[in-house]
A and B are shown apart, each in its own frame.
Chain A
Amino acid sequence: MANIPNDLKYAKTHEWVRLEGDIATIGITDFAQGELSDIVYVEITALGKTIKRDDPLGTIEAVKAVSDLYSPVSGQVITANDTLKDSPATVNKDPYGEGWMAKIKVADPSELNGLLDATAYAELASRSAHH
């Protein structure tokens, strides 16, 4: 059963958000990393750009497939997690902690109200499961 922390918000496309002040930290959920299996490369193509919610943030390469990463919030993409260059597997091991992918300076924090909470995401995840 995938881990789904209560204190985070979630997007339908399996990203999580942690808001601290006006900085949102984004990554992919435990469920998502399990589906993708071994992550080999993370690329935040929108680094430095100002994007809208649901815009592509970058790509995640797994051994079998490449997945798009979408932004759950609008704002400026200020940082990407550089440690993932040398240890992409951190995403699999610690998806909500060291495996964070990008930080965004949000324009409007109330935008997060439109995202799923842990319960709603848990329901989505169990419906999406393939096995």
Chain B
Amino acid sequence: MRFTPHTAEDRRLMLQRIGAASVEELFAGIPADIRLDRSLDLPEPLSEPEAVRELGKFAAENIGTDRLACFAGAGAYDHYIPAIVDTIISRPEFYTAYTPYQAEVSQGTLQAIYEFQSLVCRLYGMEAANASMYDCASALAEATHMARDISRRAKVLLAGSVNPVHVEVVRTYAHGLNIPIEVVPLSGNRIDLEALNRMCTPDVAALIVQHPNFLGNLEPVRRASEIVHKAGALLVVSADPISLGALEPPGTYDADIAVGEGQPLGIPLSFGGPYLGIMSAKKKYIRNLPGRIVARTVDTEGKSGFVLAIQTREQHIRRERAGSNICTNQALCALATSVYLATMGRTGIAEVARQSMAKAHYLARGIAEVRGFETETSTPFFKEFVVRTPVPANRVVEAGIGHGILAGVALDRFNPEWKDRLLVAVTEKRTRIEMDAYCVFLKQEFAS
């Protein structure tokens, strides 16, 4: 289908067909006294080079990861995006396509989504995945709703180490759905298992835990899974997909629902979005998954093809009884992720994870040697760690800009208890030179 504007000839034929003399005539029913009788107060149109120059000036006010060595994470990461991702997703058939309304006519789109779902299942070790949500935050919120509906229990436990930005979204949904949320306290930057055990009462539907957690640390997920399941509740896990190149995936420790942020898999940082909500579950809960699900089947001639499956779950059939009102997915971002995963493969993902982890540990050791700085690395961490700073953390971030460094994310705005704490992330893109320069910057600015 083409999306090109009408020509004058198109308009003439349409008017002729409906028996109208002009387009103006079609608005005859609107009273003259409420019609706008002047042009809109807009500036003159710009030529393409003028528009490019004007927009370029705005864009230049940003400083991107092309000019700063990025050590900021907290849910979105500067991982490398292979050139092939852009090449494939830039094809107009993918780039301009909207969510298909007669889905079975768009077999290519459905196949791409089916492959995405399959890759998610492999990566997360789960049995069923949907066509994607908008981002991890909303996927986590929907998982909360799912857990409540599946278990028929009232409240949800949330580890204090889940990304606070995601927690805000979970709380927004939970408020509207009347799901009480209780926060499980931390002990040493990880979930307190004794507290979890006490809090797993018979009215608890699920535990939401992030692994690796917001502060970069690994959570005791196997023990948490045992405690939660023994109490008859579900385990909802939020996992960074890159971490699954090194850590055992959620399926191996009996996660009932696993979600993640797909941005690290071939999607640019883009000042916060568009990102990609990864969502998967045990097969027995597939009817409770929100969103689109693509399935493969055979037609009446026995030929293989793709369809949207169990659509009767969705709101256009179930209406107010549906589990969610989402009726789309992030097709282009999901495609980017599929291209990234197919390009990198098992060994590629493992290598990205290994390098990110090794480099994060190298930098943590370097920072710990700078006078006045301490790293909270007594518990195992993956690619992020907390640094205690001798001055307010955002002063470190501001000072770093002049050195070509985005030093991290100051944590005090998420939690007043996290004063003078900087969250530092390291990906495979960071070089030894960049990391050594980071330590030199800290010494020069704050330790001499």
Chain A residues near B (Cβ < 8 Å): 40-41, 59, 61-66
Interface of A is mostly: strand
Q: Which of B287-321 contact A (CB under 8 A)?
A: 287, 310, 312, 317-319, 321
Question: Which residues of chain A have C-beta atoms less than 8 A from B317's C-beta?
Answer: 61, 64-66
Q: Is there an interface contact between A66 and B287, defined as CB atoms closer than 8 Å?
A: no
The total of interchain contacts (Cβ-Cβ below 8 angstroms) comes to 18
CA distance A61 to B317 in the complex (A): 9
- Return A91 CB to nearest CB of chain B, in Å: 14
- Return B436 CB to nearest CB of chain A, in Å: 60
Question: Which residues of chain A have C-beta atoms less than 8 A from B319's C-beta?
Answer: 66
Nearest CB in chain A to that of B317: its residue: A66
Question: Which residues of chain B have C-beta atoms less than 8 A from A66's C-beta?
Answer: 312, 317-319, 321
- Return B145 CB to nearest CB of chain A, in Å: 16
Q: Is there an interface contact between B318 and A41, defined as CB atoms closer than 8 Å?
A: no
Interface of B is mostly: helix
Most buried by B among A59, A61, A62, A63: A61
Given contacts A40-B312, A41-B312, A61-B312, 8 further A-B pairs with CB under 8 A are A41-B287, A59-B321, A62-B312, A63-B312, A65-B317, A66-B312, A66-B317, A66-B318
Question: Which residues of chain B have C-beta atoms less than 8 A from A41's C-beta?
Answer: 287, 310, 312
- Return B444 CB to nearest CB of chain A, in Å: 66
Question: Which residues of chain A have C-beta atoms less than 8 A from B312's C-beta?
Answer: 40-41, 61-63, 66
CA distance A33 to B256 in the complex (A): 35
CA distance A63 to B317 in the complex (A): 8
- Return A40 CB to nearest CB of chain B, in Å: 6
CA distance A41 to B321 in the complex (A): 14
Nearest CB in chain B to that of A66: its residue: B318
User: What would be 7 A-B contacts, judged by CB atoms less than 8 Å apart?
Assistant: A40-B312, A61-B312, A61-B317, A61-B318, A66-B312, A66-B318, A66-B319
Nearest CB in chain B to that of A48: its residue: B152
CA distance A59 to B318 in the complex (A): 10
Question: Which residues of chain B have C-beta atoms less than 8 A from A62's C-beta?
Answer: 312
- Return B287 CB to nearest CB of chain A, in Å: 7
Most buried by A among B312, B318, B319: B312
Which 7 A-B pairs have CB atoms at the shortest separation, nearest pair first?
A61-B312, A66-B318, A40-B312, A66-B317, A66-B321, A41-B312, A59-B321
- Return B133 CB to nearest CB of chain A, in Å: 23
- Return A97 CB to nearest CB of chain B, in Å: 24
Question: Which residues of chain A have C-beta atoms less than 8 A from B310's C-beta?
Answer: 40-41
CA distance A66 to B314 in the complex (A): 10
CA distance A62 to B310 in the complex (A): 10
CA distance A116 to B319 in the complex (A): 31
Nearest CB in chain B to that of A62: its residue: B312
CA distance A40 to B319 in the complex (A): 16
Q: Which of B302-343 contact A (CB under 8 A)?
A: 310, 312, 317-319, 321
